Structure 1
């Protein structure tokens, strides 16, 4: 596998040919007031979300009556960038299963083992023999969740089916491998990958073309995670479910299946679970929900959809609570007059930005380090050596990795400088074969500042993924200490280095 942080330079022609596609602004836009929502409520939501601690908001979209009435993409993020969705992917799996059922290719009572006879253990228990498609949909397979399994073996289904099985259909145990097995079953019965089947049935009719999905070592879309998609496409999918499977007058997904997906199928602690989606504590609301804060909130009572993509280390109840308490109480049925609050919203929507690194633009000691090779101890990122190059309110970080590849990232002062990289970004999970099926380049935006003459801080956001790295370099004589933080982890990683 490629080094996750190998930043190979790309020539201008390649950058242009591989540039991000802008499949955006297809949904109708309207003013909040025209749809019965005061702009001040949208502002309150956006301001509250962007002020949350330990949180990078990447996008928020608010829709009512099928129209977008507010949206933000705090810089350096932008509407055209795809995002990895973690378990938000599961709800798309649930839709694909419903389509296969409607096509008479699948039944909820079908036994899981029957789809994989060559992968069954030598001795099949009664409980394994009884496990059904519905049990996978409701996370009641009877198999105790093992999050590490996908990191240790490429034989996910064989290993999964060999595990002890309790009575299926009884106890909720959230497990991404349930969704992965459903993806494999859909591929078995349709003859096409889950993604291709969704393209045929939903994505192409809805003009969702900027989409990809990770592929497992066994050749199936990963199902329970790995969807890579734009925020507006998430909004489209939310509207499809809100409108009972109808898109532009066509019934793409059976209404009866949508009702089952969005209805209680299993108790799941303090919340309930439908088919591959959660029921919310707000009355009638349901959601697709992914790690680190990826949401499609569907609120039938208000005829609304809210999409949030982010990277957060705080409990998602906080974000959802802001929607329930700051936005929804202000939603009414009468058309309102758009006034100064709407003008304020228009200005604010384009002005949100993630924090720049704070400090000074220059250091009196910078030229001591200009172009010098900083040799690093062995580290998880594969960085062998670094060098720094200083310009007018710009720092370029050149990296040589352990395989000898050289690359460069720019960082701006009180601005985000972007570049494309041909290797993979940091990822909070490590399944075997990660990123297979996801094509680059990945775009990185950088900001820098000097904390003191001998301390340089860098911030890099991977804007069409989810990750961000903070890198602090502390110089003392010929010694350099790197401290690296990841926005998906509370850990701090220290890497010693020496100037040569």
Structure 2
């Protein structure tokens, strides 16, 4: 394992180890945290991984991608490729609708950065040219007057950087940011038009997420070399606009693709619990990955257990060990059952400790996690990031139950198969709800055959 940041004990960086133990214990009760990294004074003082997850695997950071896009924009501005007050249609004339509205003509890069484009709702992605769709959508409000969280706006920024630099975001950032920081093969999902998504789709390792936070904390300096202008980081992470009213960490104002937090902190923030939280007042960074239904919980734990512990002392406590994610119980049975379906799963077979999905064998045993490979299949309307999975499951009576955890993504899939071939698949987190496959739909679509009978 190659470390990108030096290690230290909490006490040597003026944090009681007992406080770290309390933080990890609190996160044990949060469903589901995958990894935690705490950095103080430039040293990693705590790292925790909830099995079966793996810190060495890249993981999808979802909208933390937006913060990396912000840095790319800042670098492009510093290189004179465009300015933040340039008009978007001047930079992207070939993407404009035939009759641009007055509001669209007034739209500037600054409005994309602050998500004050004037949209009343996000334009849909996934089909066609995402940039053209974003620029064609109605701007109900004058740019700069209305805040709306707006992933397509970030994608437009990606298109601007790509058009002006001649490189996709990933390639533009590689020599300027990723390589100097020691990132190992980051990947970025692209639109059908070949433009990096910008607002999502970046996959990096948990420690790389912490390294990014440390670079921000250091004002863009890294090992004696300036990677990012300090002025840009100051602007990007400061409150540029007010957002929705309230007292949660999502109501503290918005910068250039960064969220402000309570306690004078700021963060890059991704769906289902991907965070890089920077605490300048305490010279600290906290990076978290997860698959969380409630994203406020881990931040509350940081504020309650870590924040008060900076620069305090107390007797050393027992080191905290994260509680592994519980595996699925049941039993392994002799024999085999196999079924075919129409839908995101085309075939499923259970045979003496092996779960086969669409021809891919996965070791699947009760009360233990087994790693395997299961790639996404867009042709079957089945998409996720990465292909590393962990599986656990077994038979209880006439029912086979298994959990399939995506080790490079946020989601866990829960499979239930009964003796008639009825299959139900649900997931714990997702943008369009938790149920993937309704039992009635699967039952009506099943074309079942038994190649053997389970005893």
Partner of 2:366: 413
Deviation at 1:112, TM superposition (A): 0.3
The whole-number CA distance in structure 1 between the counterparts of 2:299 and 2:403 is 28
By percentage of residues, which structure has more strand?
1
- State the secondary structure of the residue aligned to 2:65: helix
Match of residue 238, structure 2, among 251, 255, 263: 263
Q: Distance in 1 between matches of 2:416 and 2:373?
A: 22
Among 20, 30, 52, which residue is 1:42 paired with? 20
1:388 matched to 2:337: no
**Corresponding position: 1:79 with 2:20:** no
Helix, strand or coil for the counterpart of 1:460? strand
Match in the other structure for 2:260: 279
Deviation at residue 167 of structure 1 after TM alignment: 0.8
- How is 1:229-378 mapped onto 2 (pairs within 5 angstroms)? 229-270=204-245, 271=251, 272-282=253-263, 284-314=264-294, 316-332=295-311, 339=316, 341=317, 344-345=318-319, 348-349=320-321, 352-358=323-329, 360-362=330-332, 366-367=333-334, 370-376=335-341, 378=342
In structure 1, how many angstroms separate the alpha carbons of the residues matched to 2:121 and 2:90?
22
Deviations 1:434-468 (A, max 9, x none): 77xx7x6x111111133x32122111111122222
1:445 aligns with 2:399: no
**SS of structure 2 residue aligned to 1:309:** strand
> Distance between the aligned counterparts of 1:81 and 1:255, measured in 2?
30
**Residue 295 of structure 1 aligns to a residue in which SS?**
strand
TM-superposed deviation, 1:56: 1.9
Q: Scaled by the length of structure 1, what TM-score is found?
A: 0.82
Q: Distance in 1 between matches of 2:312 and 2:398?
A: 59
Per the alignment, residue 481 of structure 1 pairs with: 422
Residue by residue, what CA displacement relative to the aligned partner does 1:264-308 show, whole Å, maximum 9, x if unpaired?
1000013200110100022x1000011111100000111110001
Tell whether the 8 Å contact from 2:215 to 2:221 is kept in structure 1 after alignment. yes
Matches within 5 A, 1:112-151: 112-146=88-122, 149-151=124-126
2:203 pairs, out of 219, 228, 241, with: 228
Q: Mind listing any 5+ residue stretches in structure 1 that lack a counterpart?
A: 1-21, 401-405
| Native 8 Å contact 2:239 2:260 kept in 1 | yes
2:217 and 2:259 map into 1 onto residues whose CA distance is 14
Q: Which residue of 2 aligns with 1:198?
A: 173
How far, CA to CA, are the matches of 1:292 and 1:426 in structure 2? 25
Q: TM-score, normalised by structure 2?
A: 0.90
Distance 1:57 1:30 in 2: 23
Alignment gaps of 5+ in structure 2 = 246-250, 451-455
Q: Deviations over 1:358-405 (max 9, x none)?
A: 3x334xxx34xx2233244x33x132x322111xxxx201234xxxxx
Deviations 1:208-265 (A, max 9, x none): 1330100111211000000011011111100011111111122211111111011110
Asked whether 1:154 is paired with 2:133, we answer: no
Number of aligned residue pairs: give it: 434
Q: Secondary structure at the match of 1:204?
A: helix
Counterpart of 1:141 in 2: which secondary structure?
A: coil
Are residue 470 (structure 1) and residue 414 (structure 2) matched?
A: yes
Secondary structure of the residue aligned to 1:312 is coil
Which string of whole-angstrom CA distances, capped at 9 and with x for unpartnered residues, describes residues 175-196 of structure 1? 0011100011011111111111
1:80-108: CA deviation from partner (whole Å, max 9, x where unpaired) = 11111111110001111111111111111
Inter-partner Cα distance in structure 1 for 2:276 and 2:296:
14
CA distances 1:320-353 after superposition (whole Å, capped 9, x unpaired): 111011111111167x77x4x2xx32xx44x531
Q: Higher relative CO (CA 8 A, sep ≥ 6), structure 1 or 2?
A: 1
Q: State the partner residue of 1:17.
A: none
Query: Cα RMSD between the aligned structures?
Result: 2.2
